[in-house]
Amino acid sequence: MCKFTLDWWENQRNRFGLRIPILVEEEIGRGDPKAAQVRLEAVADIPSLSISDEAVRVADLLLAEGCVPVGSEEDALHIGIAAA
């Protein structure tokens, strides 16, 4: 992990009211099991954000209007979660 990133996680993150979408929790749980466990432990105390109906509506609209390209549905959902 980059020194700047490590410093932020260790010394700065408590200055903010962090939330983590369930979608992100699923993503960081993928890949190498040991690395995934480290990532999951790093965010264990951050409250989760569920995928609301409004987030899905925003994502669908972004895709339907071509604001987010087809094939990038998860990206549209990330935006929808952040916007909702």
pLDDT in tens, the chain (84 residues): 688 888 888 899 999 999 999 999 999 999 999 999 988 998 999 999 999 999 999 999 999 999 999 999 999 999 999 998
Selection from 64, 62, 70, 29 nearest residue 78 by Cα: 62
Enter the tokens of residue 31: 């890949």
Q: How many Å apart are CA 50 and CA 21, to the nearest integer? A: 6
What pLDDT is stored for residue 58 in this prediction?
A: 97
Domain boundaries, the chain: 17-50, 51-84
What pLDDT is stored for residue 1 in this prediction?
A: 63
Q: Residue 56 — φ and ψ, nearest 5°?
A: -65, -40
Say whether pTM exceeds 0.85: no
DSSP category for residue 76: H
**Taking every pair of C-alpha atoms in the chain, what is the biggest distance, in angstroms?**
41
